[in-house]
Amino acid sequence: MSAAAATHVTLSGVHPLQLVIVGHVDHGKSTFVGRLLHETGALPESKVQQIRAVSERRGQRMEWAFLLDAFQAERDQGITIDVSRIPFKTHKRQYVIIDAPGHKEFLKNMVTGAADAEAAFLMIDAKEGLQEQSRRHAYLLSLMGTHQVAVLVTKMDLIDFDHQKFAEIERDIRAYLRELGLTPRAVVPIAAQGEDAANIVRRASNMLWYTGPTVIELLDQLEPRPQNDQLPFRMPVQDIYRFDERRIIAGRVETGRVAVGDTVIFSPSGKSAKVRSVEAWNTDRLPQSGSAGQCVGFTLDQQIFVERGEVASHEQDAPILSNVFRGNIFWFSHKPLRVGHTLKLKLATAEHMVTVQSVDEVIDTENLGGTGRQEVLRSEVAKVTLRARGLMALDEAVRSPLTGRFVLVDDFRIVGGGTISMEGYPNQRDLITVRSTNITASETQVDRDARWKRNGHKGAVLWMTGLSGAGKSTIAREAEKVLFLKGYNVYVLDGDNVRGGLNANLGFSPEDRAENIRRVGEVAALFADAGIICLASFISPYASDRERARKAAGDAYHEVFVRADLEVCEERDPKGLYKRARAGEIADFTGISAPYEAPQAPELDINTAQLTIDEGVALLVNYVESHIRFT
């Protein structure tokens, strides 16, 4: 059992609240924790004497930070390297204090500590005020979804308990946290060193201007995280064991619960079966269920091939399936992260090779703005888009923090981690799910080649993709006219037309837009099969949707990238849509608030920022005559 898991179990069976202590190096974290334990009677006198003796040998006054210095290297350098976990209790309940390192070099360990926490104390030195590393820690707390945050302004004795200086720090940190979407439970001025600890257990006589809670009062106001067994069932498959005639699927239930008789689905394979038994060792009576936090094994009522890395869930609330997602990441490697960088992504027990499709924004933690750079340097946080070749089973971190986090590995080293966001991207599960059964396609008496030969040209799907305003429909309509006059069977499908009929029931959410393209892709493929050249003019922002359309049409598919920069399209803005999107009147607008994944290797590239409409039409017509017409 891991240390983290062990902390969930106490003698009384009560879940202890896990609290992480973060802050810049030398801002007083270890001193605070040592003093807190002493003030609440959690330290035996022998330990206090040991700390006093070490302090005297070093010629220092009582140094409470020595309590947490588990390694000699830390004492030598005067910094905390590893994460320490300390059981602790007040009269109300039990806690586990996670003392996370604050130095920039050990940010990875700070994130490890924060990942398990239900609440956080952010420490700020009263003399130094809000530092860049303090901002970075606050940002990482928001990134990890630690929304229960309080701020302790330490070393108030070094500024003579000055109310005005404290008020300035409180104003700055509240403003910064507000931009992160965090509201601190309290901002408490404390002093942990010296004879009398201030505002930790007892109120400070020299800070009567402070009327908020003491640290102990604040602790007991914190709320435990909702129990994970109340969330949807998730069990990443760890392994499959064979005993006798049983195949036991084993793993740790991260959230929710599973019981005998439940139908479970495994993602991304999509295979499902009923749970026949929940297995256990050395017991005459097998359990009927397993719940969050337990390592369980179960058998199924039918033999299906399941492998490590798949995620077991109930079908009605299965994880998202996608080959692309947005990652809010922190980066630890000395080697900058750039577009095209391929890494191993570890997601629970699954491993996927992913490529950085785009670096969307490198965050300046000073002002929370973008740096404008396209590479992520060490200790920076950023928003990136990651793409895998195959489908991955994902959860968004905001809905499922435990299964919405990932780790990035390069050359066998952990180089980053982050949380999953599907902002702007659809769940592809519905797009690949076949619900109808007992389907038998009827055989046609007129095959495709016969239709094509009689027309004198092949059927084709000319899939015209590009930003709104790039010129897709204009070129398609003009080319349709030219080709028709030349004797081709040709027809234009465009977004406005199909949304008035076939797809009138779809909106503009990422899922609806993906379904829109799926249907159009299938229709266009039928046009091509019937011998018609179908000019399909759709923004179709997702590469996966276009790949699905290509698969539907097979060798009749030809991708045409109608290219124009976003700035050019905004200047044209023929329907006034960009202006409305910029004003916030249109949500999920491609290029503004939703992604556009440009084709990497289109069959034809028409740059309308450099060509006239006539020149673009000529390129398209020439392509048809050289690639689709029979000679």
Tell me which residues are annotated as active site: 540
One-letter amino acid for residue 242 of the chain: R
Backbone torsions φ then ψ of 235, nearest 5 degrees:
-135, 100
Please give the order of strands across the beta sheet that includes 84-89. Answer: 84-89, 94-99, 17-23, 119-125, 149-154, 187-189
Alpha-carbon span 252 to 123, nearest angstrom: 34
Alpha-carbon span 482 to 490, nearest angstrom: 10
Alpha-carbon span 340 to 332, nearest angstrom: 18
Alpha-carbon span 65 to 55, nearest angstrom: 10
Burial class (CB in 10 A: 0-12, 13-18, 19+), 463: buried
- Report strand pairing: 557-563 vs 460-465: parallel
Alpha-carbon span 382 to 371, nearest angstrom: 10
CB atoms near residue 413 (< 10 Å)? 9
Q: Is the dihedral of CA 373, 379, 383, 389 positive or negative?
A: positive
Quickly list H helices, 456-506.
472-485, 495-499
CB atoms near residue 552 (< 10 Å)? 20
Give Cα 15 to chain centroid, integer Å: 27
Three-state secondary structure call for residue 318 = coil
CB atoms near residue 187 (< 10 Å)? 21
Q: In angstroms, what CA-CA distances link 166 with 22, 101, 182?
A: 19, 24, 20
List beta partners, residue 578.
none
Q: Is the dihedral of CA 286, 289, 295, 301 positive or negative?
A: positive
Is the previous residue joined to 224 through a cis bond, with omega within 30 degrees of 0?
no
Query: Which tokens belong to 476?
Result: 């398609």
Quickly list H helices, 554-612.
566-572, 577-582
Q: Measure the CA dihedral 589/591/595/598, to 10°.
A: 130
CA-based angle 227:291:349, to the nearest 5? 95
